[in-house]
Structure 1
Amino acid sequence: DEKYQIVHDYIQENYPDFFRYFKIFFLSGARTSELFRLQKKDVNLVAQEYKVTIQKGREYIETIKIILPQAVPYWREILDMCKSQKDYLFSKGLKPGDKPIQPYQITKRWHRLIKSSNKIKDKDGKIIKVTEDFYSLKHLFLDKLDQASDEEINLAKIAASHRTDSITKVYTV
């Protein structure tokens, strides 16, 4: 998708800390609330996985999620910035710290830096207005996984930690 690529390149060029989070989020299929609770001790980069607690209805389930090979450099970068195993990966400024930040802050950041921007332009210099929400990225990724999988292995369902195919179908096209 051309618009996605333009936004991707704009964030990469102008907001490196946000870009790192953007890539980890996009390639993980995880929720922002899950990623914002992650501490360095929860990540095993050698095994390319991380441990997260997911709320499904009224219950909490500890789950192991995979880190895709394309995402490893971004995970390595954020982990190398941590000063202790207890550091939250995404604290103030989307950098490691001892206090987690709230998920709504991504929505605010996306609105301020991307949706309200007049600086995002196509190759002809025409301003690109972004109307999509940040979570649209996750759904785009799940769509791509859904297209790549077969009925036996629903990768989008696994990445998003959905219990049933019917929930995943709500978010994939």
Structure 2
Amino acid sequence: MWALCFRGRVSLTRAKRWTEGNVVAVPLEDGGFGFGVVVEEPLVAFFTRRANTKEMPADISSAAIAFSVWVMNNAIGKAHWSIVGTIDLPSHVELDPWFFKKDIISGKYSLYRHLEEKPALRDDCVNLERAAVWEPEHVESRLTDFLAGREHQNKWVRSLAL
């Protein structure tokens, strides 16, 4: 945080870290880096691209998307992921994806995005992400496993699976 002073008044502000198109370098558990792009806070789309350094690959915009999830707001910044560049959102990034929810009491399913929720059948949820906000370390684990071809073995993916 830093302070601005205007005519004797102090205003505390923080640098904006969640700007659409910001590319973040995600450290992988087995070394190297994966990459994600901010779609809209807290949604980040993660690419199927890895590199040995955290320098943004020139071809990142054309890389396929591995998955898109909501991420804790502390993920981007000093403690976790560095912003390594900015791109226009690729056309293959879904801007407002549906997520699924399952009520733990009734067992009923629903589809959710932003503030919109509608009833669903289990079959409607099969290829969707569970509505959850991921810790940065859990994303790092998942992206490591995805890029190694073992995403379905990842403990965080299994814990949130349908």
Structure number with higher helix proportion: 1
Superposition TM-score, scaled by structure 1 size: 0.22
Please state which structure has a larger fraction of its residues in strand.
2
Larger radius of gyration: 2
